[in-house]
Every structure is written in C-alpha cells, then in structure tokens.
C-alpha cells in the first residue's frame, strides 16, 4: 500500500516528453525531434522497469514529491530531516536526528533504490532536498529486499536531466544564514545528467544549548555537491553514475556564565569562563554509485556498486575541557564502506513475479584519539597539575552478506500476497546471522479502498562505524575513569514486527490509519557519552515499540493540505552492552524494570497547506507538534520535556516571461510565534547536553532559471 502525502503538480510522462523535446530543439546541434522523443520515452520506460525490481509491496510508503518540497516554507533550502518530519511517525531530535516509529536511528538511505552506506556524520545532513525529484519514507512490515536498517527506508529518486537549463539561487536571513546554490540539468543525445552545488553559512550550526536565538560560538560552514549521469546503451539497458560530497565544519556552542566545579588545576589555572570555550568538529562524506540496468520482456536486472568514505575530526579546548570535564580528547575517526547490490525481477506468469537479490559490503573503520587527563590518588585528588596524554587507537573491519528471494502472488485481481525470506550474515566485532521470513497481504475490495497486513522478522546489526573501541582500562585511576568497567560488545537486534493498515480515497481527500507492534530482543539504542559528539550504540536485553498513525491529505485545484498524527510508545529493559558508560545505580534500576527509551515521544503531529494563485503567487504553512522526548524523573527516562508547537509560513511569486526562464522571490518565517522549546534538557539515558528548537527567523531568497 502506498500512502501519498501530497500529489502536487508533478509532471506527467507526456508533459516531460514535450518539455524535453522543446528543450532539446534549442540545444546546439540537436538530434532530430523524433529521436529526442524516442530517447525520452526509453528513459521513462527504464525508470519504470527499475521501480519494478523493488516495489514496497505491503509496506507503508509516504511520498514527498519535488513540488511538495518546493511549497514548504524554506523550499529546497530546508534540510532533509525537516522535510521527512512532515511524514507520519517521524519525530524530531537534537543534532538533526530522526526517530521513526520509536527507533533511535535504524534508517537506511537509498539513492534510486541503491543503498547509501552509513557514515560518521552527526550534526550535518549528507543529502540535500535539492537533488530529489521524489522522497519516499517506507516503513512497516518491509518486504524481503529491505534489511539491516528497518525502522524506515528513505529512498530518494534523484533529478535527472531532460531540460537543458538550470537555476541559481541565493537565500538567507536571520541567525547569519546565507545559502547560495546552483543546479543544472541537461540531455545530450542518449546521455543526461543533473548537477547541484550549495554552500550554507549559519550562526546556528547546532541547536542552541540555552534557548537563545543566536547561540554563542555556533557558526557552521556547510558545502554540498551532487552529480548524476546516465547513458542509454539501447532500448533495454542503461548505465548510470552518482557522485556526491558533503564537507561541513561546526563550532560547538557554549552555555554562558558557567565556571568549572570539579576542583581541578591545570598548570596553576582553576577558573575558566564557559563563554570562552573553543571546541569544533569537522565532518566529511564522499560517496559514489555506479549502476547497470537491463530489462527484457519478462526479466529486469540491476547491478550496482557503491562506496562511501566519511571522516569526523574533533578538536577540543584543552584547558577548558580539562577543568570542566576532566578530559580533553582530540579524535579522528574514518570509515570506508564499499559494496555491491545485485537484484532482479522475473515475471513467471500473470499470477507470479519472482524477485531476488544479493548484497555484499565491507566496512573499514579507524579511530585515533589523544586524551589529556589527570591521574588521581587513592583519595581522589589529582597527583599533578600537568595533564597526561593517553593514546588510544584502533581499527577494525566488518563484512555484511545478504540474500533474499520473494514471490508476488496475485491470488485474485483484488488480493495480492507477497511472501519471501531473507538471510543476513554479519562478520564484525561479533559473528551473527539470521534467516528472516516476510509476508504481506494487500486487499483492494473496491475502488479507493486498500487494506494491508504484514509480518516481518528483522535483523539489525549495531552501526559498526559507531561501536566504541575505547580501551576502558587505560583510563582507570584518572579523571576520565568511566562509571564502570564492563564493556560487552553490542549485539544485533532481532525483531518480530507486525503491521496492519487501511487507506480510503474519498474524492479529493485520502485518509489512512496504520498500526504496528515490534517485539525486540537486544534492542539497539544510541547515546552520546564522550567529549567528541559521536553516538555510541548499546543494547537493551528486551524491548518493544508500538503505535498507531493517522494520515490525511487533500488535493483539489490550487489547494493542497495534509495532516498526520502518530501515537507511540517505546520501552526497553536491562542494558547488556557498553555498560561502562552508565551509572551503576541506573543499570540496577533498568535491569529490573522496563523504562521509556530516551527518544520515546507519545504524540507527534505534522500538518500543512499550500495555495497557488493564478497570477503565480503561492502561500504555504506547516506545523510540527511534539509531546516531548524523555528526561530523567524518579527513574531513568521517567519524565518528559514539555510539549511544543512550531508554526512556519512561506510565500513565493514567480515572474514569468523573462529570458531564460522565470525569476522567483520567496519569503519565509520559521517559528512564527517564537516558541522557545526544549528538544532535550541534558538528562536521560545517553543524553549529553541540552538543546532547544529554532527561534523565530525571517528569511528571503531569489532564484533565476537559465
């Protein structure tokens, strides 16, 4: 079943052909019009063939097309995580994190259905909405082609080139934001491509730790570039390539007015104003994908190779961090992931379509840390005012092997059963595997009504690149000694997942409801424990997540509107890995009872509307509501931060009839009512510091097509 959040004015295949033919006819030395049409039709047919290899049969899919993104306040300047928050079941967290259906992360990103390996970025967004012609969030009881990361699949269908032209844009406003960008797409015979590049400078690179509109020491520089090329070999095959990079630097924001309270002495210095702390983190990711697609009468096959290199570098304020934290750690972490994804679909007959695939990947991670600490005597006093350096370096390799086979069986015209099995093998810090059955049933008893029900067995390894490799014993007897010494390795999560839903179309209005339940063993969560802002995975021995989602969208003429509500609960019991990070008293409590997961949020809602006037003006609004993430109470995560509502407004006008294409002016107001709200208050299991949502900001932009 596929829920469509907004079916805005996306171009139909016919319109795309006409546009492409018109654009090609003005290009230098163009091919004949008939040849252009043939190429474009072939490209569209190959796109359709590609989508048949991995349909989300029986899962719940929420679609956010390019027109929907452009109509949001901020448009394509909006960060990707903020776009996804408009889908049901996606909850906001600090550092730009998303939580889908009660999971901490467990999200897999794909470009044109090819896996993009995970990286080390924490604060920044690797991908930009600028590169997307459509974004799908796929959740629920996933069919067998989806694995390893299963809370949500974010599949981005990238823009490709048919129009020989592009757009330049400048956008900016409050909080020091400035974002110039450029896009270009074109087709040259059987080859087409799309390219984009952008820079964002902002004085709120990381969420404010104290609720101020422009935090102290929080500047960020963010560069992104993306390119897509494809070449049609013949009417049944195509090769394509993707290359992208994201390079970002962040100052770590300071809380004003604090002084150290640990009583430490750094070469005679005991005082240090928190306002003067100077810490920074650099994050970089470069990725590439090459694919070959072949489609025949009954068989479609795609072979892809993918790679991603990411790097994270943390630079401490040595004196300040020693006085405040007892440790100043510089860190360099790198991760290289490469792999191949081979998948195909075969139409056996009118009733059966067989699909299968093989995915193999390897990760090589390296960690280099240099920690400045003080040694302590038996009474807990530092033995010297001169810090000692502890070097702790490591490297490791992991291999992942996955294979699946499934059958789409059309029992009747109205009833489809999709069943299959998946096997995953992980050789990392631990050697683990699982055979996972999947089954989904989709029933359309009459036009406009769709029911679905499904069961999936999931196998989710801990994110290899984030697993802590710290040698705990090296820090015993120092100011950086961990609360404990037990450090069992994180294990793979194993789930039984159930999903049931219905969607009803009532003219221009479409409504849906979807319920789910996940029973988990070795439930994976993540926390921020060290000085560098790097998340560390750990396991609860058992846990669960359950909830229900309601969605509605309306599209009629110039008006489009949507509303979503998610009700959920996520709990875990007994932490069984990376225990050294936790207070022994907390471990004892969690050992004996279920607690809320730190990212649990009972109620999450989103909604919005856009209206387009005939003269080229459009206005839009969206709203986010959260009942609050968890904080400590009488037990760990036993309370929650206050609820919040954030309202955003936008307006844009297209000036047409200009040489090269329209000129667009836009204005946006983010957090219209200047609601000051906490995302985190600094307490909770694995929560390192407080963060607040954005304060009110006024932004404007101009873009020109060429």
Q: How many CB atoms lie within 10 A of CB 279?
A: 21
Nearest alpha-carbon partner for 436 in 53, 67, 129, 145: 145
The owner of tokens 């984009």 is 196
Is residue 405 packed enough to be buried (19+ CB in 10 Å), middle (13-18) or exposed (0-12)? middle
Can you tell me the distance from the alpha carbon of 208 to that of 351, in angstroms, rounded to the nearest whole number?
56
Query: At 650, phi and psi to the nearest 5?
Result: -150, 155
* Beta-strand runs (E) in 529-558: 535-556
Helix 13-25 vs helix 33-53: angle between axes, to the nearest 10 degrees? Answer: 140
* Alpha-carbon gap, residue 545 to 400, rounded angstroms: 26
Pairwise CA distance, residues 260 & 315, whole Å: 20
DSSP states of 250-285 as a string? EEPPB-TT----S---BTTB----GGG---EEEEEE
Residue showing tokens 């086979």: 405
Please name every residue paired with 86 in a beta bridge, in sequence order, or none if there are none: none
Euclidean distance between CA atoms 688 and 102, whole angstroms:
20
pLDDT reported for residue 701: 97
Sign of CA dihedral 575, 577, 583, 584: positive
Sheet containing 132-139: order of strands = 2-4, 60-65, 132-139, 152-158, 107-111, 114-116
d(CA 497, CA 520): 9
CA-CA distance, 451 to 379, in Å (whole number)?
Answer: 67
Among residues 296, 308, 437, the alpha carbon closest in space to that of 362 is found at 308
Residue 158 C-alpha from the chain's centroid: 16
According to the model, what pLDDT value does residue 265 have?
A: 96
| Placement of tokens 């900001």 in the chain | 697
CB 702 within 8 A of CB 680: no
Reported as half-sphere exposure (CB side, CA atoms, 13 A), residue 508 has a value of: 10
pTM: 0.90
Q: Which CATH number fits domain 2-159+307-329+351-383+403-480+505-705: 2.40.170, 2.60.40, 2.40.128, 3.30.70?
A: 2.40.170
Rounded CA gap, 539 and 704, in Å?
50
3-state secondary structure 91-121: EECHHHCEEECCCCCCEEEEECCEEECCCCC
CA distance 464 to 537: 9
What are 572's two structure tokens? Answer: 């875990």
**Nearest CA-CA partner of 119 in 132, 131, 129, 105:** 105
Structure tokens that stand for 319 in this block: 């004196």
Residues 686/529, Cβ–Cβ less than 8 Å? yes
User: Which DSSP letter does residue 33 get?
Assistant: H
Using the CB atoms, write b or e for 587-617: b if 16+ within 10 Å: beebeeeebbbbbbbbebbbbbbbebeeeee
Instruction: Give me the sign of the Cα torsion angle 30, 31, 32, 36.
Output: negative
Residues of the chain with pLDDT below 70 are: 1-37, 121-122, 124, 468-470, 530-533
Question: Residue 15 has what pLDDT?
Answer: 28
Give CA angle at 468 (466, 470), nearest 5°: 145
To which H or E segment does residue 587 belong?
helix 584-592
- In the chain, how many H helices and how many E strands? 6, 35
Q: How many CB atoms lie within 10 A of CB 679?
A: 20
> In whole angstroms, what is the distance from residue 135 CA to residue 87 CA?
11
């Amino acid at each position: 079943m596929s829920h469509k959040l907004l079916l805005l004015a996306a171009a139909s295949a016919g319109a795309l052909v006409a546009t492409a033919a018109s654009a090609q006819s003005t290009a230098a030395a163009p091919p004949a019009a008939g040849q252009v049409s043939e190429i474009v039709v072939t490209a569209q047919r190959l796109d359709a063939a590609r989508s048949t290899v991995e349909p989300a049969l029986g899962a719940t899919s929420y679609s956010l097309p390019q027109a929907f993104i452009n109509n949001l306040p901020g448009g394509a300047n909006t960060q990707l995580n903020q776009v996804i928050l408009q889908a049901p079941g996606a909850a906001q967290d600090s550092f730009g994190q998303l939580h889908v259906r009660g999971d901490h992360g467990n999200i897999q990103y794909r470009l044109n259905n090819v896996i993009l390996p995970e990286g080390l970025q924490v604060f920044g967004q690797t991908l930009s909405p600028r590169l997307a012609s459509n974004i799908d969030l796929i959740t629920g009881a996933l069919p067998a082609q989806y694995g390893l990361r299963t809370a949500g699949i974010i599949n981005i269908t990238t823009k490709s080139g048919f129009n020989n032209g592009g757009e330049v844009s400048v956008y900016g406003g409050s909080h020091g934001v400035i974002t110039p960008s450029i896009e270009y797409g074109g087709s040259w015979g059987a080859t087409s491509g799309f390219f984009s590049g952008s820079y964002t400078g902002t004085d709120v690179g990381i969420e404010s730790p104290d609720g101020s509109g422009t935090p102290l020491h929080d500047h960020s520089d963010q560069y992104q570039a993306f390119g897509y090329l494809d070449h049609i070999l013949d009417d049944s095959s195509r090769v394509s390539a993707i290359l992208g990079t994201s390079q970002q630097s962040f100052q770590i924001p300071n809380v004003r007015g604090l002084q150290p309270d640990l009583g430490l002495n750094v070469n005679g210095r005991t005082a240090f104003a928190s306002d003067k702390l100077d810490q920074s983190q650099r994050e970089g990711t470069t990725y590439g994908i090459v694919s070959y697609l072949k489609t025949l009468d009954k068989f479609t096959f795609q072979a892809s190779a993918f790679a991603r290199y990411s790097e994270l570098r943390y630079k401490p304020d040595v004196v300040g961090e020693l006085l405040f934290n007892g440790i100043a750690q510089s860190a360099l972490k790198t991760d290289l992931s490469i792999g191949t994804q081979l998948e195909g679909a075969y139409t056996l007959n009118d009733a059966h379509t067989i699909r299968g695939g093989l995915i193999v990947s390897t990760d090589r991670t390296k960690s280099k840390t240099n920690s400045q600490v003080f040694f302590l005597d038996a009474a807990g006093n530092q033995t010297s005012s001169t810090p000692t350096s502890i070097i702790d370096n490591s490297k490791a390799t992991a291999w992942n092997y996955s294979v699946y086979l499934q059958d789409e069986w059309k029992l009747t015209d109205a009833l489809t059963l999709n069943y299959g099995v998946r096997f995953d093998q992980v050789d990392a810090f631990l050697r683990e595997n699982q055979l996972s059955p999947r089954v989904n049933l989709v029933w359309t008893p009459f036009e406009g009504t769709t029911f679905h029900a499904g069961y999936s067995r999931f196998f989710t390894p801990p994110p290899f690149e984030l697993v802590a490799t710290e040698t705990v014993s090296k820090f015993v007897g120092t100011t950086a000694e961990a609360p404990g010494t037990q450090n069992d390795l994180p294990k793979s999560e194993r789930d039984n997942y159930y999903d049931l839903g219905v969607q009803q179309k009532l003219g221009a209005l479409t409504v849906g409801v979807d319920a789910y339940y996940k029973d988990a063993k070795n439930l994976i969560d993540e926390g921020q424990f060290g000085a560098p802002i790097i998340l560390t995975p750990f396991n609860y021995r058992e846990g669960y997540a359950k909830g229900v989602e309601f969605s509605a969208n309306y599209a009629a003429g110039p008006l489009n509107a949507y509303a979503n509500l998610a009700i959920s609960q996520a709990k875990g019991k007994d932490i069984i890995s990376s225990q050294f990070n936790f207070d022994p008293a907390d471990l004892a409590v969690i050992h004996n009872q279920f607690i809320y997961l730190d990212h649990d949020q009972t109620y999450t809602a989103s909604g919005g509307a856009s209206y387009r006037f005939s003269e080229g003006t459009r206005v839009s609004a969206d709203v986010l509501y959260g009942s609050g993430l968890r904080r400590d109470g009488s037990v760990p995560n036993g309370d929650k931060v206050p609820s919040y509502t954030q309202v955003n407004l936008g307006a844009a006008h297209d000036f047409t009839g200009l040489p090269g294409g329209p000129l667009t002016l836009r204005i946006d107001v983010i957090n219209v009512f200047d609601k000051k709200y906490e995302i985190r208050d600094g307490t909770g299991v694995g929560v390192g510091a407080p963060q607040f949502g954005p304060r009110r900001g006024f932004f404007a932009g101009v873009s020109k097509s060429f």
